[in-house]
A = this chain, B = another copy of it.
Amino acid sequence: MTVGRKLRMTNQRRVILEELKKVTSHPTADEVYQMVRQRLPHISLGTVYRNLEVLSQCGMIQRLALGINQRHFDANIENHYHIRCINCGRLEDVPIEPVAAFDNVLRGMSDYEIIGHRLEFIGLCPQCKK
């Protein structure tokens, strides 16, 4: 839907990119808005959203947590891995045993108390492969 569009480097877009490059945290759209607003007090939140979208679509930044903002529930309380279709959002189990040893790799390297991990593959489901 945004394919083949000619992008312009506006002041707002440049500043958003610059500010995002300054930090190693992973700000939310609203946090980016707060950062950018110090340099461009009249920028709107909508512009920030639109630019974050455009910039991640052309690969200049990445959007974490995928495009999905609906939560999914599972009666299977065993830890298990999932695969999500990047096109339709379908979420399925993956027949790979969770590797508990990962957690230990991180223990001792991090100040966090490690509780576990989630591994999610990203791909195209059979239907969306075309």
Contacts and interface: CB of A to CB of B under 8 A. Distances in A.
Nearest to A28: B70
B121 A114 contact: yes
B96 A111 contact: no
User: Within the oligomer, what is the number of copies of this chain?
Assistant: 2
B61 A83 contact: no
A109 B124 contact: no
Contacts of A92: 25-26
A103 B121 contact: yes
A40 interface: no
A29 B92 CA distance: 16
A86 interface: yes
A32 B71 CA distance: 11
A83 B96 contact: no
A114 B75 CA distance: 26
A20 to B, nearest CB: 4
Contacts of A76: 24, 62
A20 B91 CA distance: 15
8 contacts: A21-B75, A25-B91, A26-B73, A64-B74, A65-B72, A96-B106, A103-B121, A117-B120
Given A94-B106, A96-B105, 4 more contacts: A65-B68, A110-B121, A110-B123, A111-B125
